[in-house]
Structure 1
Amino acid sequence: MGWSELRAVPNDYDEEIRAVDTQLIELLNHRKALAKGRRCFPPMVVLKEFEEKSGLKPPYLNWLFHSINGGFHRTRTDGPGELQGILQIMKTTVQEGYQYMITHAMQHEHGSIVHIEIRPQKIDNDSPDFHPRLQLEVTCPDVEYSVHRNGSRGGGGASSMSFLVEPPLPEQLDTVHFALIPFEEPMEFRRREIFLDQEVHFE
């Protein structure tokens, strides 16, 4: 089948949006040329200014700059490679009634899968469900890390998240800093859901 035989996906694209997209492409190319391959992320005070001027919340702004900096570009299609071992991290902090724990990293050949647990300090029958809109940031003076969401799950008053960090984390973490930043994709892809709600009998 040739490209001309493919059916176009219906959408509401028009000339006004095309003009905006043209400007976006020009600005992105200009920014890329200025960055010269560096990771250029605005500091908190500048993000606050952008929030006040644009009305966009920090999760969306962080998503925007993360994507501009190549945060969604993966150089590998074969995953992080073979499992090499487990790195104990055990960093814990408490903020506004929630405990955040970076427990460990599964050390693979080409990357580390960092695991995070989040739970409220007090759990009772009236405790609401919570949904983390966070992205892991890993910084080090000597290494530039790429971080991607690897998975998440929740239930029972707790939430777990994992992130793929490339290149792999070192065994000594003295110069490595971990942080969670607000993060949400404006048009996040949501997978189709299937509800299993039929009786199941085992013989």
Structure 2
Amino acid sequence: MKRMAFERPTEHYDQRLYQVDEQLCSLVKQRKEASNNNPGFPPLEDIAKWAEKYQLYEDQLRSIFDILRNEDDFRPQVEPIHFQKYLPVHKSVENDQCLYSVTFIRQYSNASVVNFNIDWDPDEEENSLYHRFWSLYLGEDYDCRQTGGGGTEGHISYHFIVSPPLPDDISGLELVFSETKAPFEKDSTSLQIVISIE
């Protein structure tokens, strides 16, 4: 999904807030470093206590902490440009009456696009696979972002943009797909599909 450009919502800014706002930025950075960029979410009782102590709204604080928890959502997004070629993969893994596969990777000058397919017998599947979410992990050197997908009865496909682009020789690469509890979440369920490329 392409992120919309942000426009400043108002021309007004009270310059007396400049030092306070800069201090807020410094505290956000300090918080990120102290948590090793994995802050979790404060207990709701603590948020209620802080709201009362500092005369703030609980909903406002919950929103702030939710935004701070998902910093990766705000990283600049790479949009693939200049298609170069397809890298054939043709690998699949069967798990619990579902076939998970990657047939190819599209190479662009600035990124790669991985299509992750799930196929199942719709008559055998009681719970819809449409309401599941996935993340892709290729190692610390790569940013993997799900950008959408779609499907029909018995088939669904997810698209992941990977940057920087993968090498043309992808032998030895492991594509680790983890089912997550919600879109763009880090917390995964126990279901993990590993597709190894020889």
Mark the CA change 1:158 to 1:72 in structure 2 (over 3 Å): closer, same or farther.
farther
- Following superposition, the deviation at residue 144 of structure 1 comes to 0.5
Per the alignment, residue 119 of structure 1 pairs with: 119
Render the CA deviation track for 1:132-186: whole Å, top value 9, x for unaligned. Answer: 31111122xxx61011112210212110111100011112223422111122138
Mark the CA change 1:175 to 1:186 in structure 2 (over 3 Å): closer, same or farther.
closer
Contact 1:72 1:148 in 2 (8 A): no
Once the two structures are superposed, the pairs formed by residues 1-203 of structure 1 within 5 Å of their partners are 3=10, 26=27, 28-33=28-33, 67-68=70-71, 70=72, 72-74=74-76, 76=78, 79-120=79-120, 122-124=121-123, 129-131=128-130, 132-139=132-139, 144-183=141-180, 184-185=182-183
Distance 2:68 2:176 in 1: 16
Mark the CA change 1:186 to 1:72 in structure 2 (over 3 Å): closer, same or farther.
closer
- Aligned partner letter, 2:146: R
Contact 2:133 2:183 in 1 (8 A): no
Aligned residues: 144
Distance 1:65 1:138 in 2: 24
Relative contact order higher in (CA < 8 Å, ≥ 6 apart)? 1
Mark the CA change 1:186 to 1:135 in structure 2 (over 3 Å): closer, same or farther.
closer
Indicate the SS of the match to 1:3: coil
The structure whose residues are more often strand, as a share, is: 2
Distance 1:185 1:64 in 2: 14
Q: CA RMSD in A?
A: 4.1
Distance 2:90 2:37 in 1: 29
User: Identical aligned pairs, as a percentage?
Assistant: 19
- Following superposition, the deviation at residue 108 of structure 1 comes to 0.5
- Following superposition, the deviation at residue 123 of structure 1 comes to 3.9
Contact 1:87 1:106 in 2 (8 A): yes
Normalising by structure 2, we get a TM-score of: 0.56
Normalising by structure 1, we get a TM-score of: 0.55
